[in-house]
Structure 1
Amino acid sequence: MKHELPTLHAPINPWRMSALSAVVLLVALCNQVQAQSQPNQPQTTSSGSVFNAFANGGITLGDQINTQAYCNFRFYDSPVLNVNKAGLLGTSQCQNTDTKNQGAALTKVSASGNPITRLPLAAFQTTSSSLNVNFTNSLQVIVNDGGTQKQISGNGQVSANSLGQSLLISKQGNVVTIPAGDYASITLQVNGILHFQAGANSTRIHQLNLANCNGMSMEFEPGDYYINQASIQTSCHLKITPATSGGSSNTASNSTSVNLHLNSSFTLNAGPTCWNMSEGTCNATIGVPEIQAQHPERLKLYLHQGDFITYQGAKIAAGIYADQGDIKFVGAGNSAFIGEVWANHITSANGGPTAYAYREVFTTSGGGSNNNPPPSISITPVAPNVTFVAPASITVSLNATAVGAGNSITKIDLYQGSILVGTTSSPTAPNSNTYSIT
């Protein structure tokens, strides 16, 4: 059978070229390698608000009918909400506290009249992996790669294959370590912890299931994680941890934050459920000292589709970006959100003590020069009328040269659709601009 030439692709800055009848898409990632010759940095601006609605969107606070009804949640460092003035609905009685000037009088929250502009969001990365990891009970982890089933009883480790990559999955006590890679499903059915390691590439999970949580359930090292579907039950906490010796600081995005990409609507159930909250604040009533102890910039959630919904008792320090959906704080009693939310519509219901505090997480580019200009690329054409008989090994050759002072080609990924099929970080010869992927 004939094989089409795969597509070269990466999440940002694509450049298209034609090779015969096939369209080839290449992206080579350029990063700074010399601190003394940094390119000019683009200017950035912050939203300045905890709630940010896109154009034609809206924000609804508390009582949707009586604008003079009470507002029992409090805003902090967010006197204005970014939305068209006609788009701020519900009660007009919500107040803001300035944490930097706690002696100042409370002010009523108002609309800025300026809706937020969407961020550029890279395409969601899916996976065709058949690898399943199931933390079934405190003594057992079952690993099945679609052809072979292995088991960890007590403490230990097993290797498994996923799309040609060997992954070492280990268990120590109540912690199962998940290395960066591709997974069909990861399931937690016991009061334990899934520790997700960072890697040189993104982690892609088709289905993530957590049940029977009773506290800390997920630990993420900084990096990029793509989760197609997620089912997370009550009291499943999430923590950000430094990269371990088994992980890699050279994450796919060179990020200092955990970037969770979700591809469908997600509900964070009641709890208390705490995501990226500092020690001792999960069960506390949130005030100024507790707000000042948080680091929401360490956790960024990107919903590529659908809504993000939280229920009573959820406490989150993060940036949440819903590209096509809404963000709903339902029954928001004894809840807290510190960071920024961006969405079409944002709603918050009256409930128990609740805090919404602005801390900068996302920025938007302003002027300035581009610090990541596209590389110069040429594809070596494949000979016409070539037929490959499965199974076949196909080599793609190309010439890639970085543009801009201090930039270099660090990695080239080869995708077929959204599936990663090959990668290279080294030219065919030292100091060469020629690369080859088979």
Structure 2
Amino acid sequence: MKPLRYLAHLIVLAAFTHQTLAGACDPVTSTSLEAGAFAVLKDGTVSIGSSGDSKTCQVTFSGSSTVNVGSSNLYQGDPTKTDCGLTASDTTLDPLTLPTFLTTSSSAIFRYKNDGDTFQYPSNWYRYNSSQKLFCVNGSSPCTTDIGYNTADSDLGNFLLSIQKSGNTYTATFDNRLGSEWQEIEGGTGSKGEMYFNYYVDPDPTIPELPYRISYLNISNTDVVYFEPGTYYINKMTLTDRVTIKVAMTETNGDKAGDGSGVVKLHLYDGTSFKGNGSCINIAGCENGNASARDTTQYPERLQIWVHNGDLTINDQAQIAAGIYVANGTLEIKANSQTAFIGEALAANIQVGNSSGVEYAYQDTGMFTDLYTAAAVDVTPNDGIYSLAAPAVTSSANYGDLTYIPYQTDDTSDAVTGGSGITGHLMAFKLTTSGTSSTATWDANNKMTTSLREERLWSTDASGTLVKFKNLDDAAFGTLGTLSTAQIKSYTITPDYAGGTYLGNRDSSAWIGAPYITQPVILDDLVIFQTDDGFIYAVDRSDDVNTGGQLKWGFMPRPLVTDLDDYTTFYTQHTMEGQIATIGDNIIVGSAKGGAMHYALKLTSAGDLDSVLWVEESSGDNPHRPVTFTSNNKQYAMYITNNTDLVVRELTSGSSKTVYDLSSKTSKATTAPLAYQYFAVSGSSNLENLEVSFGDNQGNVYSAVLIDSGSMKGSLSWKLTGNIGTSSTVQKNVLWLQSATLRGEDYMVAQTTERLKVFRLPASETSWRPDWISMIGESGSWNDAGTTYTKETDHSSNYEHIQLLESDVTITDQVEIAASVIFLPLQRDTEASCDAYYYLYSLDTGLFPTNVLHRNASVDGSNVKIGTGKAFTPAVISIGGTPTLQGHSEENTSQSTTTGETITNLGLDNPFTFTTGDQGWSGWRELLDE
């Protein structure tokens, strides 16, 4: 049954989900790399042990105790535990530039296995096709001597050099020249199988090197594989248990084998299937998992592993000596006894096990030499003011009404903090025909006073009852060092207490912390927002310059109080990283701690805090906005915890929760739940229905019915909506989902940081089908049935072709859809500029829309630059009954003053309106997070 349609002009904001922060355009925070086994990219984390693991450190670190990670992102199981002896360098890096991954177009297959001391192959195992089969030299099967092949089959002879028997071991030797492309190579499934990759470089320098290109390489139990130095592109490489990988260092005419580099460079498109429990990877003296025989001298500089997409997973008891780079995923070493990593690794995130007998040893591999020798760069924040989140707006407004925007000021000249003072702001701006006024009506930071904070800041006692922060019990602060609870209360209430001694990294003018990624929300007469000082705040939203912005209340969840004594780092830990949702006129639900905390607050009719319904701690790193909805006259919040638990919880005090396990479908949900509610007519009754969708780290989107005919289901039947890829699956983090309806058909938009894909659900259908896609380097569409994909070959006219994304863009926030137009926020990073853009698409076709006006002038086929840095989801406002979108970015368009000073325009910018055109207006499903 299709959902009830709403009026054409009804506009509802969609769920705000986790943003991807920090790109090459951001204020530079990198310095040269310090010596250490592990390093991560910007905003990456290093975890020793599983999340929440409070066991003592059982692993051994040697060679260096430094971890190249931000000081707030080094977690050693329990974040308070320091017995691993590690030190965070507080330096991280921008992503490295990888070469273009070379795929294979070949269908060539080779498989072999051993059985005892004989080599066997079924009759359908062949090199290329049925006319090019291998055969036994002695004519028997199974073979008792060497394997032969038809020398007339040049395609075979150019790659598979030989299969030779030595004792009970058969060795298949391959050659990269000419026949270097292979679809599948699979090693022996029995015992004593070997493969040898002979790397040939022609002595004639005019003949180019031909690197190996293999779609699938499976190395099975007890296999031994030799790689000669050179470059290998492998889409998928699977290691089963107890595999041995060696770098062959044989010399020919005085030169090292292979390409002369002496290094095996394995480029893996996706490293998730690597695994290899009990394997010996470039480890001398270690054979088939015999870890105890490992030699003390190792050569990690001989092996480089470059993972272009996804995670790299190395299973229990594996030993590896290598340099590793994981471009956009997690390096996970599932350590057990005898596990060893020797070398150095750089990844987006690193997660390693915490078990006895495990060793992580730093040794220079030469893989990151340029990062060590790079000159140190400025690590202080930018001078000036910028925004890290979208604004709060009312869905219906008139010119002169206020919008509310979070900002951060980095003052590099502040004397108290040594030149890195940070101030948070919530500013109110009046709507104008050109966007908003560039002068704030008020700033909540300027309205704070000690007396207001003493009376209006709250937390809870041990039983969960509200108590003023100034009256908190000592137990709330945990075990303290040299500070007293009185001192902590004083500098929390008055940040420049004791002459600014306890400001940490805050400016002396900062009453509130930086808002970080939290989008403010409006609830009745309040604007509500979260900041890095650990509080959620509510201020008066009035346009009166005296009362507007004044503190109504602030609340700090009790579990955060114990961290306040570390004033030097508390404000850099982003403890309130998350989003806020409301329901009705008195309930607030939010996420914090990067998705590891959720809470619900109830307000009085006057907007004051009434009670804390619940505070829930968990694990997970998806700080999305909870979805709120009403069913059978009960209010609920829905959110994701522990990465695989979909939680539905009634918004009453002490309420129990229903948890739906997603682990059968995914290892990690990466979006907010997307929910929509509709009603089916049965007789004279409207039966309530609710569907929910989520995206995961494997590039998939799933949907299920949560409420059917008014009843909430005890278990959910998830159905695959689709994958983010085109002709094959692509393992990328799906970060945002959005939904809309146009002409009786439903559409769902899924986004990663580098692609946007639209799915369509035709009227009266039950299965989604792919519609069109725009991604870095490519765009295309599917036929009406969703079965055939056609890539665009001409991008000369956006009105006739679906535009692709250029290599220098990054998607930075969720799309907004209005009047059947998709507005895609992204950032373009060139050597000369760092610009925020909206790219525009028609919802149903992907073509450039014809019905968009910009500042009362047509956009005329061009995407719109709206400022500098990251672009945010535009604000949708019905102004005097006319739907209008207002743009926003980190820094909006700059202007020069009469004195020649360049300043950033504050407030919203770049309004868009619409004509009806041929497209008509799109209907909207009822989204449930407002």
| Fold shared by both chains (TM-score > 0.5) | yes
Question: How far apart, CA to CA, are the structure 1 residues paired with 2:295 and 2:91?
Answer: 26
Distance 1:133 1:55, change over 3 A: same
Name the structure 2 match of 1:182: 181
Name the structure 1 match of 2:216: 207
Q: 2:238 touches 2:276 (CA, 8 Å); kept in 1?
A: no
Q: 2:236 touches 2:273 (CA, 8 Å); kept in 1?
A: no
Name the structure 2 match of 1:23: none
Distance 1:206 1:320, change over 3 A: same
The answer as to 2:304 corresponding to 1:327 is no
Structure with higher Rg: it is: 2
Q: Which residue among 348, 354, 362 is the counterpart of 1:344? A: 348
Q: 1:46 touches 1:360 (CA, 8 Å); kept in 2?
A: no
Q: 1:274 touches 1:315 (CA, 8 Å); kept in 2?
A: yes
Distance 1:128 1:242, change over 3 A: same
**Once the two structures are superposed, what CA deviation does each residue of 1:244-302 show, in whole Å capped at 9, x if it has no partner?**
769x95745x421111111113344454211011115853459xxx6741100011111
Residue 167 of structure 1 and its aligned partner are, at CA, apart by 2.8
Name the structure 1 match of 2:108: 131
Name the structure 1 match of 2:64: 78
Question: How far apart, CA to CA, are the structure 2 residues paired with 1:73 and 1:94?
Answer: 12
Residue 317 of structure 1 and its aligned partner are, at CA, apart by 0.5
User: What secondary structure does 1:297 align onto?
Assistant: helix
Q: Which residue among 300, 304, 319 is the counterpart of 1:300? A: 304
Q: Which amino acid aligns with 1:145?
A: Y
Residue 127 of structure 1 and its aligned partner are, at CA, apart by 1.1
**Once the two structures are superposed, what CA deviation does each residue of 1:202-230 show, in whole Å capped at 9, x if it has no partner?**
0111111233x22x421111111111112
Q: Which residue among 222, 227, 230 is the counterpart of 2:234? A: 227
Q: RMSD between aligned alpha carbons?
A: 2.9
Residue 46 of structure 1 and its aligned partner are, at CA, apart by 6.0
Question: How far apart, CA to CA, are the structure 1 residues paired with 2:229 and 2:132?
Answer: 30
Question: How far apart, CA to CA, are the structure 1 residues paired with 2:53 and 2:303?
Answer: 36
Larger strand percent: 1
Q: Name segments (4+ residues, structure 1) moved above 4 Å.
A: 92-96, 159-162, 243-246, 248-252
**Once the two structures are superposed, what CA deviation does each residue of 1:152-189 show, in whole Å capped at 9, x if it has no partner?**
42314435544x98334201111110111221111113
**Once the two structures are superposed, what CA deviation does each residue of 1:94-134 show, in whole Å capped at 9, x if it has no partner?**
657xxxxxxxxxxx112110013433210111111222112
TM-score, normalized by length of structure 1?
A: 0.63
Q: 1:285 touches 1:353 (CA, 8 Å); kept in 2?
A: no
Distance 1:48 1:284, change over 3 A: same
The answer as to 2:153 corresponding to 1:155 is no
Q: 2:134 touches 2:147 (CA, 8 Å); kept in 1?
A: no
The answer as to 2:232 corresponding to 1:264 is no
Question: How far apart, CA to CA, are the structure 1 residues paired with 2:340 and 2:300?
Answer: 12
Q: Which amino acid aligns with 2:334?
A: V
Q: 1:198 touches 1:249 (CA, 8 Å); kept in 2?
A: no
Q: Which residue among 317, 337, 340 is the counterpart of 2:321? A: 317
Distance 1:318 1:205, change over 3 A: same
Question: How far apart, CA to CA, are the structure 1 residues paired with 2:183 and 2:276?
Answer: 27
Question: How far apart, CA to CA, are the structure 1 residues paired with 2:154 and 2:33?
Answer: 43
Name the structure 2 match of 1:197: 198
- Give ranges in structure 1 of 5+ residues lacking alignment: 1-44, 97-107, 369-438
Name the structure 2 match of 1:88: 74
Q: 2:34 touches 2:89 (CA, 8 Å); kept in 1?
A: no
Question: How far apart, CA to CA, are the structure 1 residues paired with 2:344 and 2:269?
Answer: 20
Question: How far apart, CA to CA, are the structure 2 residues paired with 1:284 and 1:150?
Answer: 39
Distance 1:285 1:110, change over 3 A: farther
Name the structure 1 match of 2:15: none
**Once the two structures are superposed, what CA deviation does each residue of 1:73-103 show, in whole Å capped at 9, x if it has no partner?**
010022110000111113455657xxxxxxx
Q: Which residue among 278, 281, 304 is the counterpart of 1:275? A: 281
The answer as to 2:48 corresponding to 1:48 is no
User: What secondary structure does 2:306 align onto?
Assistant: strand
Question: How far apart, CA to CA, are the structure 1 residues paired with 2:33 and 2:72?
Answer: 23
TM-score, normalized by length of structure 2?
A: 0.31
Q: 2:104 touches 2:182 (CA, 8 Å); kept in 1?
A: yes
Residue 340 of structure 1 and its aligned partner are, at CA, apart by 0.9
Q: 2:284 touches 2:295 (CA, 8 Å); kept in 1?
A: no
Name the structure 2 match of 1:423: none
Distance 1:367 1:230, change over 3 A: closer
Distance 1:152 1:341, change over 3 A: farther
Q: Which residue among 352, 362, 368 is the counterpart of 1:363? A: 368
Q: Which residue among 32, 35, 44 is the counterpart of 1:57? A: 44
Residue 140 of structure 1 and its aligned partner are, at CA, apart by 4.1
Question: How far apart, CA to CA, are the structure 1 residues paired with 2:229 and 2:82?
Answer: 35
User: What secondary structure does 1:55 align onto?
Assistant: coil
User: What secondary structure does 2:45 align onto?
Assistant: strand
Alignment of 1:18-37 (within 5 A): none
Q: 1:74 touches 1:95 (CA, 8 Å); kept in 2?
A: no
Q: 2:41 touches 2:93 (CA, 8 Å); kept in 1?
A: yes
Q: 2:33 touches 2:68 (CA, 8 Å); kept in 1?
A: no
User: What secondary structure does 2:328 align onto?
Assistant: coil
Question: How far apart, CA to CA, are the structure 2 residues paired with 1:73 and 1:266?
Answer: 24
Question: How far apart, CA to CA, are the structure 2 residues paired with 1:296 and 1:249?
Answer: 17
Q: 1:276 touches 1:318 (CA, 8 Å); kept in 2?
A: yes
Name the structure 1 match of 2:158: 166
Distance 1:217 1:260, change over 3 A: same
User: What secondary structure does 1:323 align onto?
Assistant: strand
Q: Which amino acid aligns with 1:203?
A: Y
Q: 2:228 touches 2:258 (CA, 8 Å); kept in 1?
A: no
Q: Which amino acid aligns with 2:171?
A: V
- Give ranges in structure 2 of 5+ residues lacking alignment: 1-31, 137-144, 202-209, 376-930
Q: 1:333 touches 1:350 (CA, 8 Å); kept in 2?
A: no
Name the structure 1 match of 2:882: none
Q: 1:332 touches 1:348 (CA, 8 Å); kept in 2?
A: no
Question: How far apart, CA to CA, are the structure 2 residues paired with 1:245 and 1:206?
Answer: 29
Residue 324 of structure 1 and its aligned partner are, at CA, apart by 1.3
Distance 1:349 1:258, change over 3 A: same
Q: Which residue among 98, 114, 128 is the counterpart of 2:91? A: 114
User: What secondary structure does 1:86 align onto?
Assistant: helix
Residue 339 of structure 1 and its aligned partner are, at CA, apart by 0.4
Name the structure 1 match of 2:880: none
User: What secondary structure does 1:144 align onto?
Assistant: coil
Distance 1:270 1:210, change over 3 A: closer
Name the structure 1 match of 2:907: none
Distance 1:325 1:241, change over 3 A: same
Question: How far apart, CA to CA, are the structure 2 residues paired with 1:325 and 1:152?
Answer: 43
Question: How far apart, CA to CA, are the structure 1 residues paired with 2:295 and 2:313?
Answer: 21
Q: 1:152 touches 1:171 (CA, 8 Å); kept in 2?
A: no
